[in-house]
Structure 1
Amino acid sequence: MINVLFICMGNICRSPTAHGIFRQMIKEKGLQDSIAVDSAGTHAYHVGKKPDERSIQTALSRHVDIRDLMARQLDDYDFEEFDYLLVADQDNHYLTLENCPTEHRHKVKFILDFATRTTLKEVPDPYYGQGNGFERVFDLVEDACAGLMTELEKELKS
Structure 2
Amino acid sequence: MIKVLFVCLGNICRSPMAEAVFRSHVEKAGLSDRIVVDSAGTGDWHVGHPPHEGTRKILEQYGIDYTGMFARQVSKEDFYDFQYIIAMDDMNVTNLAPYFPADRKVEVKKMLEFVPKHAGGNVPDPYFTGNFEEVYEMVNEGCENLLNYIQDEQELG
TM-score, length basis structure 1: 0.92
1:93 paired residue number: 93
State how many pairs are aligned.
Answer: 156
Amino acid at match of 1:59: L
Q: Distance in 2 between matches of 1:118 and 1:107?
A: 20
CA drift of 1:105 comes to 6.7
Cα displacement (A) at 1:33:
1.4
CA shift for structure 1 position 10: 0.4
Give the alignment of 1:139-158 within 5 angstroms.
139-157=137-155
In the alignment, residue 98 of structure 2 is paired with which amino acid?
Answer: E
Counterparts of 1:22 and 1:46, CA distance in 2: 22
Partners of 2:73 and 2:129 in 1: CA distance: 23
Deviation at 1:98, TM superposition (A): 2.3
Unaligned runs of at least 5 residues, structure 2: none
Asked if the contact 2:83/2:105 (under 8 Å) is kept, the reply is no
Counterpart Cα distance in 1 of 2:109 and 2:119 = 15
Unaligned runs of 5+ in 1: none
Deviation at 1:65, TM superposition (A): 2.0
Distance 1:119 1:73 in 2: 26
Identity %: 37
Q: Is the 8 A contact 1:50 1:67 kept in 2?
A: no
Q: Structure 1 counterpart of 2:43, which letter?
A: H
- Give, in whole Å, the separation in 2 of the partners of 1:85 and 1:120: 16
Secondary structure of 2:124 counterpart = coil
CA-based RMSD? 1.5
Provide the C-alpha distance between the structure 1 equivalents of 2:153 and 2:47, rounded to a whole number of angstroms.
33
| Displaced runs of 4 or more, over 4 A | none
